[in-house]
A and B are shown apart, each in its own frame.
Chain A
Amino acid sequence: DSGVTQTPKHLITATGQRVTLRCSPRSGDLSVYWYQQSLDQGLQFLIQYYNGEERAKGNILERFSAQQFPDLHSELNLSSLELGDSALYFCASSPHGETTDTQYFGPGTRLTVL
């Protein structure tokens, strides 16, 4: 158990809908990262937050957005969902968001868009 929690574990929804994925980092970690794992794209970095501020963006679609709240939990919002958004979404956390950190991953949220 990494200490990172993600809810829900599974999510099934329809095209065009909007969903919110939630992540709680390990105790003491200030930085949160979101990754998407899909069959065609593999594991890809989406976005990073540090202490409530966006720090880095990767291959995140404009239909996707995220935020980190004062209690350090983070939410990833996916809107206007398409079939291709079906994937496993991981949240990871690290103490300071620095390159010397190790990222510890949560169990993931499996999103299925029908």
Chain B
Amino acid sequence: AQKVTQAQTEISVVEKEDVTLDCVYETRDTTYYLFWYKQPPSGELVFLIRRNSFDEQNEISGRYSWNFQKSTSSFNFTITASQVVDSAVYFCALSKETGFQKLVFGTGTRLLVSP
């Protein structure tokens, strides 16, 4: 069975601080996909990144970066120089490489960035 754990329920930071959101996953599949989605206060789910399990290179997109470590089954997300607009709930998700694509979500981490 697949499982995603986001142990941090809520994180509060002050603007311009760096913050890392943790994601640990469990799967028996050798190939799989990992995702991060953002849910701002308005409620929609916004896609941030997808990572194939074969690709362990870290990725950077502006102030966002992702650290994928297969050895520890983790796919952590770092926001550098956080801004108030980063306040949201962030979800990590996992899907299988074969069969139908069902996203298994973690419970989410609420990030509060104060000015």
**Considering the complex of A and B, which 3 residue pairs feature the smallest CB-CB distances, nearest first?**
A56-B100, A105-B45, A43-B105
Interface of B is mostly: loop
Q: Does A99 contact B97, Cβ atoms closer than 8 Å?
A: yes
Q: Does A99 contact B43, Cβ atoms closer than 8 Å?
A: no
For window 80-105 of A, CB contacts with B under 8 Å fall at 88, 90, 92, 94, 97-105
Q: Does B64 contact A (CB under 8 A)?
A: no
Q: Does A8 contact B (CB under 8 A)?
A: no
Q: Does B45 contact A48, Cβ atoms closer than 8 Å?
A: no
**What total count of A-B pairs have CB within 8 Å?**
62
| A interface residues, how many (CB within 8 angstroms) | 28
Q: How far is the CA of A103 from the CA of B94 in the complex (A)?
A: 12
Contact-residue size bin, chain B (C-beta under 8 Å from the other chain) = 20 to 34
Proximity bits, A1-45, B CB within 8 Å = 1, else 0? 010000000000000000000000000000001010000001111
Q: A55-B100, A99-B99, A105-B37 are in contact. Are A42 and B105 (CB under 8 A)?
A: yes
Q: Which residues of B are in contact with A by a Cβ distance under 8 Å? A: 33, 35, 37, 42-47, 50, 91, 95-108
Q: Does B95 contact A99, Cβ atoms closer than 8 Å?
A: yes
Q: A42-B105, A42-B107 are in contact. Are A97 and B43 (CB under 8 A)?
A: no
Q: Which residues of A are in contact with B by a Cβ distance under 8 Å? A: 2, 33, 35, 42-45, 48, 55-56, 58, 88, 90, 92, 94, 97-108, 110
- The CB with the most chain A CB atoms within 10 A, among B37, B44, B104, is that of B44
